[in-house]
Amino acid sequence: MYHVKDFTSFTSDIIALITYSKKIENNWKKEDFKLLDKPDEMLYGAVQDFQELLFAEGNEKLYDNIIRISEEMLKNYPDHLQSRLNISTIYIARNDYDKSLDALQKAEKIDSTNPILLYNIASVYKMKGEKENAKKYFALTTRNTTQKEEKLKEAALKQLDLLK
């Protein structure tokens, strides 16, 4: 497990990594100087791991760091769904449901069938008190889950029952 003390420098380093990765077109090499098989996935995973460290701190003061990293990802990789989800999560934590929904709706334009995204949209609508929109998106969640996502489907069905 990592132990970070200087979150400002940590965030700046992550942003520099994202910028550099875009500059080199994600041509990351292994120790033997051969290109990585899936460098985009490596970058996305590494950035998400770093963001999870910030989330795990449970410190509201770090929310802006998460947003800065996510915005840098979106500047360089506009279709990066996870960055939009991270931004949305921060706005939910801040009770700013309109900004959260805005981030999610932008993500929906990228992938309108992602069940986690659909569930999050439904949840934000529920928090806003928009029952009909919440029901619509919980129903969409149930129709777009795979067998691997059975628990998510069950959660969406439970929410639909609660919204009757």
Distance of CA 66 to the CA centre of its chain: 10
Question: What b/e readout covers 52-86, taking b as 16+ CB neighbours within 10 angstroms?
Answer: ebbbeeeeeebbebbbebbebbbebbeebbbbbbb
Q: Check pLDDT > 60 for residue 2.
A: no
pLDDT one-digit tens code per residue, 90-127: 999 999 999 999 999 999 999 999 999 999 999 999 99
- Provide the pLDDT for residue 35: 87
For 29, the 3-state DSSP assignment is strand
For 35, the 3-state DSSP assignment is strand
- Provide the pLDDT for residue 30: 83
pTM exceeding 0.85: yes
Residue 33 per-residue DSSP state: S
Q: What percent of the chain has a predicted confidence (pLDDT) above 70?
A: 98
Say how far apart CA 11 and CA 69 lie, in whole Å: 7
Residues sharing a CB contact under 8 Å with residue 62, sequence separation 6 or more, in sequence order: 7, 54
Nearest to 82 by CA among 111, 124, 122, 113: 111
**Mean pLDDT of all residues in 36-59:** 91
pLDDT one-digit tens code per residue, 136-153: 999 999 999 999 999 999
- Provide the pLDDT for residue 97: 98
Alpha carbons within 13 angstroms on the beta-carbon side of residue 119 total 19
